[in-house]
Amino acid sequence: MSLRLTGVLSAALVLSVRIAGAGERLRVVVNDLDANGVSAQVARVVSDHLRVKLIETRRFVIPEREKMEAVLAEQSVGLTLGQCFSQECAIELGRLLQANKMVVGTVSLLNQTYSISIRFLDLETGAAEFSAEEKCQNMDDLFLAAERLAARIVAYIPPRGRVTAVSGDHIIIDLGSQDGVSVGMDFRILRKVERVPGYPEEEQIAVARATSVQPAWSRIEIPRTSSTLMRAPVVQENDIVVGPQSVAVNELPQYAFLMVYSRPVGAEVYVDNLFQGRTKENGLEVRLAAGRHAVRVSAPAHKTDERTVELRPNQRMPYNATLDPQLRRPPFSLQISSFSYVRQRPGNEAFRQQLDGEALQGVQTGYGRIYRNFMTEIGGSWTFANMAPEKGYGLNEVHRLTLHGHLGFAVPLGFVIPYGGAGYEFGQFMFNSGNVLAGQENLGASGKIGHDGWYWTAGVFVGRWLQVSYRRTWGRPETDLGMWSVGLNLSGF
C-alpha cells in the first residue's frame, strides 16, 4: 500500500491545487457512509445528500465524489469511496486527497428505527474530534436527518477569519459570500492576549454585524449603543473574527406507529375515516401523528371493530382486531294456515233484528304468508244464524258462505305482528224455511242472495300462532257486515 501511496501523491497534488485556493476554509472529505440494515444504494444516496448540504453551507472545501474517484482510478490504487469504511482506511484516503478533516459514519436500521451516526476525524492526528447521531422513523426522513448532521458539523466549526483592514467604523474581514457570509450575520471579534506569559488566550473585544458582503471579503460594523459610545472598542488588523455556530434546519417530525393485526386477514383499516390499507399476515403499519385517533377495521360478512386510541410520539402500539362473523339475518317470513271462530254482525239494524242474537257465527279458514312487510291471504268461511222468534220473514235459518282474498302490510315487532290490508270476497246468503240439520229442504234458488264486494281488514298475530282479526265490508248498505275472528295459526307451531 505504501508504494501505491507514493505513486499517487503527485496526482493528489492536482486536486490539492483546487483546494488550496480557498483561504482558511477547512478541506473536508465526506466518505461514503457504511450500510447496516439498509441497502448500499440508500447509504450512498444519504452520503451524497450530506455532502451536498455541507457544500451549501460554504464553510468547507469539499471535493466532489466523481473527481475524487477519478483521481484514485487513474493511479490504480484499488481504493474507492464505496469500499473504504474502516477508520484506518478512511484516514489514509483523506491524507491521500490532501484533506484536513474527514467525515465517516454509518446508516443503520434497527428495530424499525433509522439512524445516521458520523465521526469527524482530524487527519493530522487520526483522532475523532466529535461524533453525532440523528434518528428517524421513516426512510423519507433520512434526508432531513442528514441536513441536521450537516448543521451540527457547522455548529462545531464556525467560520473563522481575520480583520484585514480598519477605517473608522468600517472593518474589513477576509470572509465573504464564498465562505457562507450573508448580510446581517453577527461576528465575534477576538484578540490573542497573554495575561500569563507563555499561555495565550482569546479575548472578545466586540461584536459586529455584516453590512456588505463580497465573494472574498465582507465589511462589518459595530452597532452603536450607549455602551459602545462611552467606550468604543479598538479593532486592529489581524484580530480574529468568528461567525455564528448554527444553521437553521427543520426539526425531525415525531411520529407514532399503529401496528394493526386482524382476523380475518385482509380487513380494511380506516383511521380518522381515511383508508390506510388492508391487513397482512404480519400486520399493517400505519404512521400517524401523536394524539387521539379513531380506528375502524372492517371485513365483509363480519362485525366492524371501532375504537379510539391515544398515541405518544415514537410509540409503536399493537392493535389486534378479531372480527366476529356476522351472518345475514334471513328476511322475516311467516306461513299462515289459520282456523278461526268468526262472528259476523250486520251493520243494517233492520237486518240485524231479524237474527237471533243479532249476529251470524261460524268458522273461517285462511292460507297465506307474511314475507318481510307484505301479507297475502286467501280463505273461506261458513256462518249460520237462527231467525229471531216472531221475526225472520217467516224463515227459520240463514247461512252465509264466502271465498275471500286480500293483500296488505305487516310490521314484525318481535312477539307481536300487526297487519292491515284490503281484499275482495265472493259471498252468498241462503235462507231456509225449515231446519236444514233436520233434513228439511231449503227455499232453493229463490232463497239465495249474492253478496260479492270489497272489504278492509286489520289484525294481529301473537307469538306466530294466535290470530285476532277484524274485517269490514263496504258498498252494500243493507248487508254490510263487521266480522271478528279469533283462531290458531297451525303453521306457527
User: Averaged over 393-408, what is the pLDDT?
Assistant: 88
102 or 436: which leads in pLDDT: 102
- pLDDT digit string (tens) for 33-61? 999 999 999 999 999 999 998 888 888 88
347 and 469 housed in the same domain: yes
327 found inside a domain: no
264 or 111: which leads in pLDDT: 264
User: Averaged over 84-110, what is the pLDDT?
Assistant: 79
Give yes or no for residue 19 having a pLDDT over 50: no
| pLDDT given for residue 83 in this prediction | 63
82 found inside a domain: yes
233 or 196: which leads in pLDDT: 196
Cα gap 2→275, rounded to integer Å: 61
- pLDDT-derived band at 154 (thresholds 50, 70, 90) equals confident
376 and 464 housed in the same domain: yes
247 found inside a domain: no
What CATH number has the domain bearing residue 176?
A: 2.40.10.410
367 found inside a domain: yes
Domain boundary among 107, 132, 156: 156
Domain boundary among 322, 343, 360: 322
Give yes or no for residue 184 having a pLDDT over 70: yes
200 and 144 housed in the same domain: no
| pLDDT given for residue 16 in this prediction | 34
Domain that holds residue 20: 2-156
Domain boundary among 242, 270, 302: 242
What CATH number has the domain bearing residue 307?
A: 2.60.40.1120
User: Averaged over 318-328, what is the pLDDT?
Assistant: 89
285 and 147 housed in the same domain: no
| pLDDT given for residue 230 in this prediction | 52
145 and 63 housed in the same domain: yes
Q: pLDDT averaged over the chain?
A: 83
- pLDDT-derived band at 124 (thresholds 50, 70, 90) equals confident
Task: Domain count for the chain, please give it.
Answer: 4
340 and 486 housed in the same domain: yes
411 and 484 housed in the same domain: yes
337 and 484 housed in the same domain: yes
| pLDDT given for residue 366 in this prediction | 95
7 found inside a domain: yes
- pLDDT digit string (tens) for 219-277? 999 887 655 555 556 888 999 998 886 655 666 677 888 999 999 999 999 999 999 99
- pLDDT-derived band at 339 (thresholds 50, 70, 90) equals very high
Find the radius of gyration of the CA atoms of the chain. 51
149 and 170 housed in the same domain: no
304 found inside a domain: yes
81 and 14 housed in the same domain: yes
Among the ranges given (68-82, 157-171, 254-268, 451-465), the one the predictor scored with the smallest mean pLDDT = 68-82
Give yes or no for residue 87 having a pLDDT over 80: no
397 found inside a domain: yes
SS (H, E, C) the chain: CHHHHHHHHHHHHHHHHHHHCCCCCEEEEECCCEEECCCHHHHHHHHHHHHHHHHHHCCEECCCHHHHHHHHHHHCCCCCHHHCCCHHHHHHHHHHCCCCEEEEEEEEEECCEEEEEEEEEECCCCCEEEEEEEEECCHHHHHHHHHHHHHHHHHHCCCEEEEEEEECCEEEECCCHHHCCCCCCEEEEEEEEEEECCEEEEEEEEEEEEEEECCCCEEEECCCCHHHHHCCCCCCCCCEEECCCCCCCCCCCCEEEEEEEEECCCCEEEECCEEEEECCCCCEEEEEECEEEEEEEECCCECCEEEEEEECCCCEEEEEEECCECCCCCCCEEEEEEEEEEEEEECCHHHHHCEHHHCEEEEEEEEEEEECCEEEEEEEEEEEEEECCCCHHHCCEEEEEEEEEEEEEECCECCEEEEEEEEEEEEEEEEECCCHHHCCCECHHHHEEECCEEEEEEEEEECCCEEEEEEEECCCCCCCEEEEEEEEEHHHC
Cα gap 290→315, rounded to integer Å: 8
477 and 431 housed in the same domain: yes
What CATH number has the domain bearing residue 33?
A: 3.40.50.10610
412 or 26: which leads in pLDDT: 412
Among the ranges given (96-105, 185-194, 280-289, 402-411), the one the predictor scored with the smallest mean pLDDT = 96-105
**CA 305, 306, 310, 315 torsion-angle sign:** positive
Among the ranges given (53-67, 185-199, 285-299, 350-364), the one the predictor scored with the smallest mean pLDDT = 53-67
Q: Which residues of 236-265 are buried (b: 16+ CB within 10 A; e: fewer)?
A: eeebbbbbeeebeeeebeebbbbbbbbeee
| pLDDT given for residue 49 in this prediction | 92
What CATH number has the domain bearing residue 414?
A: 2.40.160.20
151 and 165 housed in the same domain: no
Cell of 179: 465562505
Question: For the chain, what is the largest distance between any 2 Cα atoms, rounded to a whole number of angstroms?
Answer: 156
Closest-CA residue to 123 (of 163, 92, 148):
92
**How many CB atoms within 10 Å of residue 352?**
15
400 found inside a domain: yes
